[in-house]
Chain A
Amino acid sequence: EPEVTQTPSHQVTQMGQEVILRCVPISNHLYFYWYRQILGQKVEFLVSFYNNEISEKSEIFDDQFSVERPDGSNFTLKIRSTKLEDSAMYFCASSSLAGGWNEQFFGPGTRLTVL
């Protein structure tokens, strides 16, 4: 069964450093998403991406965040200057159809720890 993959599974970084989280969505999917979940809290939407541009973003997704689809398979989330409060699980998701209410397939997540 096709699945979304994410690398690395765990990233530790120093405050102020840039990090890039990588995702490989399911191959025939066209819609891509990033979510985050701070330990013990809700899953929060960050951004959606379609046709090489951002479709929607939340208030969390400020100028420190960016997304890119550098080639036909990868989808990345970059945090320019990490803060302690960026420590969270980051989940990538993809779907084949428009809208958030068709099934979104989530990856296993990257645990980001900012020291």
Chain B
Amino acid sequence: LAKTTQPISMDSYEGQEVNITCSHNNIATNDYITWYQQFPSQGPRFIIQGYKTKVTNEVASLFIPADRKSSTLSLPRVSLSDTAVYYCLVGDGNTPLVFGKGTRLSVIA
């Protein structure tokens, strides 16, 4: 299972774009990259998933370079309600979700 490394915490002001980068140097050919969000005392919530290049949905964008050894979750114009822990997960669908410690994003007014 590919190991992921992401910053422990980040701070941002409201209205700014936030980019959280995740390293996954030993990602396998069949692996996808998935990001989940977790608010305090709530279950994780799926944000976005990708395999390569760029994926965008109504919540975020996911940028994956050609070598796929890293990925960047981009949150446009964050608000206080985006304060949460963000998890980067890598896998091929045949193994359970393995959560790391994630990145704790604090949005400041």
A interface with B by C-beta (< 8 Å):
4, 33, 35, 42-45, 48, 56, 58, 89, 91, 93, 98-109, 111
A-B Cβ contacts below 8 A, count = 60
B46 touches A89 (CB 8 A): no
B interface with A by C-beta (< 8 Å):
32, 34, 38, 41-46, 49, 87, 91-102
B99 touches A89 (CB 8 A): no
Chain B at the A interface: SS class: loop
- Shortest CB distance A79–B (Å): 19
In the assembled complex, which residues on chain A have CB atoms less than 8 Å from the CB atom of B94?
99-100
Which of B34, B43, B44 has the largest number of chain A CB atoms within 10 A?
B43
With beta carbons under 8 angstroms apart, the residue of B46, B92, B96, B99 that contacts A103 is: B46
- Shortest CB distance B47–A (Å): 10
In the assembled complex, which residues on chain B have CB atoms less than 8 Å from the CB atom of A104?
44, 46, 97
In the assembled complex, which residues on chain B have CB atoms less than 8 Å from the CB atom of A48?
96
Query: Known: A42-B101, A56-B96, A98-B93. Contact between A103 and B43, CB under 8 A?
Result: no
In the assembled complex, which residues on chain B have CB atoms less than 8 Å from the CB atom of A105?
46
In the assembled complex, which residues on chain B have CB atoms less than 8 Å from the CB atom of A101?
32, 34, 49, 91-93, 97
A100 touches B41 (CB 8 A): no
- Shortest CB distance A58–B (Å): 7
A33 to B32, CA, bound (A): 20
A89 touches B98 (CB 8 A): no
Query: Known: A43-B99, A44-B99, A45-B98. Contact between A100 and B93, CB under 8 A?
Result: yes
A100 to B94, CA, bound (A): 7
Query: Which residue from chain B places its CB closest to the CB of A55 in the assembled complex?
Result: B96
In the assembled complex, which residues on chain A have CB atoms less than 8 Å from the CB atom of B43?
4, 91, 93, 106-109
A60 to B93, CA, bound (A): 21
